[in-house]
Amino acid sequence: MPLKILAVDDEPDLELLMRQNFRRKIRAGEYNFFFAHNGYEALDLLKENPDVDIIFSDINMPEMDGLTLLKNVIEKHPTVKSVIISAYGDMKNLRTAMNNGAFDFVTKPIDFSDLEITLNKTILEVEARREAAKSKDQLMSLQKEMQIGRTIQESFLPDSIPQKDGWEISALFTPAKEVAGDFYDAFTLDNGRYIAFVVADVCGKGLGAALFMTLIRSLIRAFSMENTGELKAPASSIHSAHNYVVQNHEAANMFATVFFGVIDSESSTLKYSSCGHNTTYVVNNGVIKHSLDPNNPLVGLFPHDEFAMGEVQLEPGDIIFAFTDGVTDILNPLNESYTGERVEQDLAENFPSAKEMLAVFEKKLFDFKQDAAQFDDITMMAIKKVL
């Protein structure tokens, strides 16, 4: 796109100078010049050509002088860069022009080398402005796409948490950005006898992690709900999801930490697979009864990995507390992380409900963070055996 330059002077010398000295640029289509003899003509030309980039304007002109023209340009065409031309001794008007928004000035008699230097400097400013406008448009487009992505991603989270007599399930999800790599899920199996739940964290940030999150979440659900005639153990569902990712999406080089548990509501047993995930706890009345450390590799990373299953017996009052590393890694203004030690100290409280546990942790985390930026997603889930 050619650079559009408007030259305004009541004397013909400026037009001749511009046409002569920039003839190669004009012929090459790099510069497109317009010429006016006073401020009124210049404003009319600007109405017809609102995409003019640069104005060279003399100060002393009939009908409308350069300072008045500058004022109109600043008000009506704020993106146009104005370069003022005047006699060297007219420093008062030149200073007034600069103070009123002119980008630069040149003095008469015009020295072409000085004019070219000034024009090149102004062009750099115009190009920077164009890039800034382009970047702004791209940013707005990206923000719109990210918002769409967030809406789609939110649709993959459960609309409601299943509730079953004798059990209370609660979840909290706080993404750090528009889209997240964390996710949680909860659903029932075998006509409601089994409560399945997932808390997971995909490596990376942004849209890539969010897309991989939706894939992992869908695979775990799908493989868990396969009608095989018997309940699939957590390790089997995770193994199937892992194999699918490795075989079909290895090039993406993405993986996830996953805690997947299945509770038998009749026997109150929890069967689980913790795949590279941070420790999940079972607490009761301020006491940590079980620390469920990782017992499996990461999901989606290496082929031929095998997945095992752990099992614990739950008793009335037990609360399962699963979370992502956005909890332990959250930073305060001193760049200190919350740490797993603080989490274990906080678990010494007696929480009356799963919902209350998450509310307490949320307050503690954000009191700790204060005004520091949240750089990672935070996901927590609590499941309490009430009876």
**What digits encode the pLDDT tens for the residues 154-174?**
666 777 888 889 999 999 999
End-to-end CA distance of the chain: 74
Percent of the chain with pLDDT over 90: 56
Identify the H or E element spanning 35. Answer: strand 31-36
Q: Residue 361 phi/psi, 5° resolution?
A: -65, -40
Q: Specify the 3-state DSSP secondary structure of 312.
A: strand
Report if pTM > 0.85.
Answer: no
- CA separation for the pair 337, 382 (Å, rounded): 22
Which range (66-70, 200-204, 258-262, 319-323) has the least confidence?
Answer: 200-204
Q: Where are the beta strands (DSSP E) in 46-166?
A: 54-58, 81-87, 104-108
Span 258-288, pLDDT tens digits: 999 999 999 999 999 999 999 999 999 999 9
Return the amino acid letter for 271. Answer: K
Indicate the DSSP class of residue 303: T
- The C-alpha atoms of residue 196 and residue 264 are separated, in whole angstroms, by 9
**Domains plus CATH for the chain?**
3-135 (3.40.50.2300), 157-385 (3.60.40.10)
pLDDT score, position 228:
47
pLDDT band at 82 (very low <50, low <70, confident <90, very high): very high
DSSP conformation class of 333: T
pLDDT the model gives residue 331: 95
pLDDT in tens, 26-68: 999 999 999 999 999 999 999 999 899 999 999 988 889 999 9
Q: Which residue has 């003095």 as its token pair?
A: 107
β-pair partners for 212: none
